[in-house]
Structure 1
Amino acid sequence: MKNKILLLLLVVAQTAFGSNNFTENQKLATTCKVWGFLKYYHPNVAGGSKNWDEQLFIILPLVEKAQTKEEFSLVLENWIASQGEVKKYEATKPDSKVEYFTKNLNLKWIDDSSVFSKNLSKKLKFVEDNRYQGKHYYVQYDLDTGNILQFNNEVKYPNFKWPDKNLRILTFFRYWNYVEYFFPYKYQMDQKWDITLEKMIPLFMEDKNEDAFYDAMQRLTVKLNDSHVVFYRYSGPDSNKILNYFPAKCKIIDEKIVVTEIRADSLAEAQNIKIGTVITKVNNKTIKEIIAENRDLIAASNEAVYLDRLTESALSGYSDNVKLEFFQDGKYITKTINWYNEHDSHRNEYKKGAKIKKEKFKVLDNNIGYVDMEILQVINVPDMIETLQSTKAIIFDIRNHPKDTNYSIAEYLNPEPKEFVKFIDPDLSFPGRYIWRNGIETCGRINPDYYKGKVILLVNEKSISHSEYTAMCLKVAPNATIIGSQTAGADGANACFQSKGFQTWFTCYGVFYPNKKETQRIGIVPDIEVKQTIKGIQEGRDEVLDRALQFIETGK
């Protein structure tokens, strides 16, 4: 019994001691939040009167020395006080005509008594209530510019060196707070952004090597679950090397890589690569293993995009060749084949003339119109409509990136203007909060002579951003049907984050249906779902187009 009591007392003592002492992770995670909060909320900081990077470098060693909650809180209290007085102002009442979107706004951490003293929480809350209301120094949002969301006036560090712990932390803190306050889909991430902060800190604290730093940064961007995220590193050990490729485009189906398009005829022929060729292993790894081990390295809103991007990644490299296992004629064959450079003369020859020239629009059998949205331009729309006006259906192929033709086309497909999309924009007067843009965007015009046939929209994982927006726009036409598979689930303009050695992007405003249903991650949901199959590819069929033709003829 005595042993049990002693054990219980020991556990209680350890718990009490642990609650009074902060780990390096806890201190840095909290400092990141406070630093970012003050950057965008404190009246004497958000206006740009302080060198906010320098202030971080000042506070970090003091934070490191703090051992208890009280010591930590006191360090931050003194730091906040040193930024100058925050004057209380009479807050204006919310405009009843403005509708706010608050799913991303989360300042509850300010009241976390396990981290902050009551006095510090009170000071932070006072800053929130009397936050900066002028023109922000560090961030700008302007729909009229090409770069809609811009992170301004950040100090650049041309001599950035990864061993500098302060600069590693600064880079991490900057990006984390950009996303915290200005990524409209933060609430849809698989992992809460707060948890990502805590889990990523050890990677940025490691003084390992340059590759490890950039790897950590790339892994951080992947956590957004946003197909607009691209991480581009333009310095490093491979920056002077030439990336080599497989001579064909491929797709992952049923944990196999299947060739869907030949990129270089002569090169593929030399390796006996054909449309429908099935690859089951790459350098002795199964496709299932490759899928599992790359999830933290490739950004995507959903599985369809992840697999699409993984294919290109798995079939490229800096070596001269690759070992592949093929499944041919009922048996597995392993052989080593050569990679090919993107600028290889054979590839250039293929690009210049070997590929069949595409038609912008045409009439298929049975009086069905077909439009390739990737090459159709606004100037071509009247001719396209005139040519296809008498067809019984028009198929708009949006498995690509259209050229801003959606509004022009919609004028011919609708009898009157139709609502099709709503937006949210960041509210810089209350960072983290968003505002529903006034009204609902419409397309079309009064047109009694609108197209009366069926409207078919083809989509798949290649349909991203403006492609998805185009599908939303054209779908409101009478008798419109979407056929295909899940789209990329990333709609809206992009914001860019740059630092020494890399740059990356993420979606910066929200796109929703008029009923406020999300498109992010979900994508444009087909009315009729059709996915490519290995058998269909091997038989040379476009199964999505075939299904559209069947639907036009049968209505089913």
Structure 2
Amino acid sequence: MIDLWRIDSEIIKSYNLDTKMKKPNSKRFYHCVKTLCPIIYLVCLIANFSCSNPKSEEYFVRPCKFVSDYEYNDTTKYAITCRVWGLLKYYHPNVTAGKLDWDKVLLESLEAISYVNTPDALNLELNKMLISAGEYSYKEDKEWNDSLKMNVNLSWLNSSFIDDSLKIELKKIASLEVKYPSFYGVDYEHIVLQNEKNYDFEVSSSQKSVNLRLLSFFRYWNVIYYFFPHKYLMDRSWDVILSEYIPKFIESVDPQSYNNTFLKLVATLNDGHAYIITDNESPKDFRDIIEKVDDITIVRVNAGELQKGDIISSIGKQNIKQVRDSLSVFTAASTQGNKDFRINCSIGQMIFGQKNLVKVFRGDKSLEINVVPVDYKKENLQIYRWISDGIGYVDLSQVTNKDINPLFESLSEADGIIFDLTKAGPYRMEIEPFVCHLFEKKEIQLSSMVYPDPMHPGAFIWRKNFQTTIPDSLSSPIYKGKIVVLINESTQSGLETIALEIRNNCNSTLVGRTTSGALGRVTFVPLLGQRASFSNFALFSADGTELQRKGINPDIVVLPTIDAIRNGRDEILDAGIDFIIKRQM
């Protein structure tokens, strides 16, 4: 199986953490967010992540599908171990204070648990784990809220083979309020999971390797369980996936099977921000080479011996449907459109990144082509330019802060400007200097947001109906012409948010296809030899409906066509131009 190409470039790096700080350093936090995700910075200014009084906030409540009954067997003994270890990791005061190496505790427990074959023997080992966490002062948190009840399942304590004394103690610990910052919790200043250890290990059938693989899986499962706000939107229960994947990780005794198991696991999140990131990521860009039109997979550009309009029937020994189906289980995406886009990218990598026999239909001919690796390079066009009489064009994926004033000065007399958000990748500009040229009102309406409550891992807090004000220092002439924004299934994360805020705050028209449906901030989870990422908070439309797994719908829908591809036309851009021309008449 090929390494799947990661759509977004890495935008967040790890920093050295000051675990002694009493609360988030707001100034440094906002600077970090402003640099990495400017539109979210605006939201955070209002949200104020100081966590000074979360109990006064409205909690986010969405019911998840839970598994409560655990009959003892060789799989459930590890599932319960994973749950107990995770609950203590995020709630036991000594563990959250960083007084123990909690990974080491798990590895020692797994060594003994591998020989366990009765519930009593397992309870003995789990009690040892609890004892190793040490004594603590108990003060019940009276604010056990509905968000926790809905997002964190404790019913397994009542419906499992855990002994009564351990159940009582775990329930007490789960009712504690966690002091921020938690040693293993989300560090909001740097937007990473903090203090997670990295390990160098060889994937093999040895017990040490098995235990390290389970550690990596248990770490990831618990992070998603406590900090992923979209569990309720997943196609399958995260509880079910726990038991399903334990045997898979035990049996993944070589690097390729281990990597594939993790890719399949991450894909179950149905999250466009869910990636597995390794050091050997492909540096090549395979976007926009392959397109899917209905059930046809077609080449979009001339590359190597393939020509635009070639319809792919097979790659190697697999027909194209088999290829797409085999890639689908490894491909994480929030929507089917975005999954198709990512599969297209992977097919581009398969064809042009290595030698392959490709069968295509070209006109009325069936051809077999031995494709060799191609260093395909896209044409670098101007960031902003005139593309038609009275119509300007801006590729927002290339715009930096220094480009903003010149582009609006250059295009100020345009009847309409087309802002292109279909070029996937991180954007490079701050949003405030940009929107001050578009928004007549100084007050900006922002999306509602849900983010994790650091004092109650598993709970999430609403921030609704934000407004912020553009400072007078950024006062600029307002562009008065037509505003068209191009979007498609590759438009993701901050680019989606830009489209949403332009729609919410000025007279604009969105043209293209529904966006990726993966909005909000990304958090990275250090794994063994890899890192994983996921959407750590959620954005909602003004009426409170989800944007995750739905995306932003265009005002004018434009679908890809074989005719446009064969004639080298950008059908979404053409539709944007046509819209402005009709308004010029």
TM-score bracket relative to the smaller structure: 0.7 to 0.9
Selected match of 1:399 from 405, 422, 426: 422
Selected match of 1:305 from 320, 331, 338: 338
Structure 2 unmatched runs, 5+: 1-68
For 1:194, give the aligned amino acid.
D
Distance 1:93 1:36 in 2: 21
Aligned to 2:126: 76
Is 1:139 the counterpart of 2:185 in the alignment?
A: yes
- Aligned to 1:56, the other structure's residue is in SS state helix
What is the RMSD computed on CA atoms of the aligned residues? 3.2
**Change beyond 3 A, Cα 1:520–1:404:** farther
**Change beyond 3 A, Cα 1:508–1:444:** same
* Deviation (angstroms), 1:127: 0.7
Task: Check the 8 A contact 1:232/1:502 in 2, yes or no.
Answer: yes
- Aligned to 2:448, the other structure's residue is in SS state strand
Aligned to 2:307: 274
* Deviation (angstroms), 1:458: 0.3
Aligned to 1:169: 214
Within 5 A, what are the aligned runs for 1:57-96? 57-64=107-114, 66-69=116-119, 72-73=122-123, 75-89=125-139, 91=141, 93=143
Distance 2:247 2:467 in 1: 45
* Deviation (angstroms), 1:139: 2.5
For 2:216, give the aligned amino acid.
T
Distance 1:156 1:37 in 2: 21
* Deviation (angstroms), 1:484: 0.6
Aligned to 1:499: 527
Distance 1:36 1:481 in 2: 47
Aligned to 1:517: 545
* Deviation (angstroms), 1:530: 0.9
Distance 1:459 1:22 in 2: 50
Selected match of 2:193 from 128, 144, 150: 150
* Deviation (angstroms), 1:82: 4.4
* Deviation (angstroms), 1:324: 1.3
For 2:222, give the aligned amino acid.
N
Aligned to 1:374: 397
Kindly, what percent of the aligned residue pairs are identical?
A: 28
Q: With structure 1 as the length reference, what TM-score do the two structures score?
A: 0.82
Task: Check the 8 A contact 1:415/1:448 in 2, yes or no.
Answer: no
- Aligned to 2:291, the other structure's residue is in SS state strand
- Aligned to 2:447, the other structure's residue is in SS state strand
* Deviation (angstroms), 1:282: 1.2
Aligned to 2:21: none
Distance 1:244 1:411 in 2: 35
Distance 1:136 1:29 in 2: 24
- Aligned to 2:575, the other structure's residue is in SS state helix
Report which of the two structures shows the higher radius of gyration computed on alpha carbons. 1
Task: Check the 8 A contact 1:421/1:513 in 2, yes or no.
Answer: yes
Distance 1:169 1:20 in 2: 19
* Deviation (angstroms), 1:101: 5.7
Within 5 A, what are the aligned runs for 1:254-333? 254-262=294-302, 268=304, 271=305, 273-317=306-350, 321-333=355-367
Aligned to 2:90: 40
* Deviation (angstroms), 1:172: 1.0
Q: With structure 2 as the length reference, what TM-score do the two structures score?
A: 0.78
Aligned to 2:458: 432
**Change beyond 3 A, Cα 1:102–1:517:** farther
Q: Deviations over 1:297-348 (max 9, x none)?
A: 12222222222222232243599621111112223222323233x4xxxx5x
Is 1:457 the counterpart of 2:485 in the alignment?
A: yes
**Change beyond 3 A, Cα 1:485–1:248:** closer
Q: Deviations over 1:34-61 (max 9, x none)?
A: 1011001011222122221222233335
Task: Check the 8 A contact 2:289/2:348 in 1, yes or no.
Answer: no
Is 1:469 the counterpart of 2:469 in the alignment?
A: no
Distance 2:308 2:70 in 1: 64
* Deviation (angstroms), 1:65: 5.2
Distance 1:196 1:84 in 2: 31
Aligned to 1:126: 172
Aligned to 2:437: 412
Distance 2:124 2:517 in 1: 45
Q: Deviations over 1:513-536 (max 9, x none)?
A: 333322222122112211111111
Selected match of 1:480 from 502, 505, 508: 508
Is 1:220 the counterpart of 2:220 in the alignment?
A: no
Selected match of 2:233 from 188, 209, 227: 188
Task: Check the 8 A contact 1:103/1:187 in 2, yes or no.
Answer: no
Higher relative contact order (CA 8 A, sep 6+): 2
Task: Check the 8 A contact 1:175/1:497 in 2, yes or no.
Answer: yes
Structure 1 unmatched runs, 5+: 1-18
Task: Check the 8 A contact 2:485/2:499 in 1, yes or no.
Answer: yes
